[in-house]
C-alpha cells in the first residue's frame, strides 16, 4: 500500500453507500492495474494505492469479516 496524491480517472463509490451519503470510500482502478482508494467527502484527499494482489487480499479479508 502506498500513499499518493496522483489522480485516477474513474472513481466509484462503495456499493454500501447511499446516494446522499458523503461519508464513503471511493475506488478507482488505474491503467497500470493498481487500485486507488480515497475519502469521498474530500475529492483532493491523499489516495492509498494497492497492487491488484494487495487489493484482492484486502477485499477477501473484508468479506470474511476479519479486516
Interval 16-60: pLDDT, tens: 888 777 788 899 999 899 999 998 888 788 899 999 999 999 999
Query: Is the pLDDT score of 8 beyond 80?
Result: no
Strand duo 25-29 + 12-13: pairing: antiparallel
What gap in Å lies between CA 4 and CA 11, rounded to an integer?
Answer: 15
| Sequence spans of domains, the chain | 2-64
DSSP per residue over 13-37, as a string?
Answer: E-TTS-TT--S-EEEEE-TTS-EEE
Yes or no: say if 37 and 20 are a contact pair by the CB < 8 Å rule.
Answer: no
Instruction: Give the gyration radius of the chain's Cα atoms.
Output: 12
pTM over 0.85, yes/no? no
Amino acid at each position: 500500500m502506498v500513499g499518493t496524491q496522483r489522480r485516477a480517472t474513474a472513481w466509484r463509490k462503495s456499493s454500501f453507500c447511499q446516494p446522499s451519503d458523503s461519508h464513503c470510500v471511493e475506488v478507482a482502478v488505474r491503467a497500470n492495474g493498481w487500485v486507488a482508494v480515497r475519502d469521498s467527502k474530500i475529492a483532493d484527499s491523499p489516495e492509498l494505492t494497492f497492487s491488484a494482489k494487495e487489493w484482492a487480499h484486502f477485499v477477501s479479508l473484508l468479506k470474511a469479516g476479519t479486516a
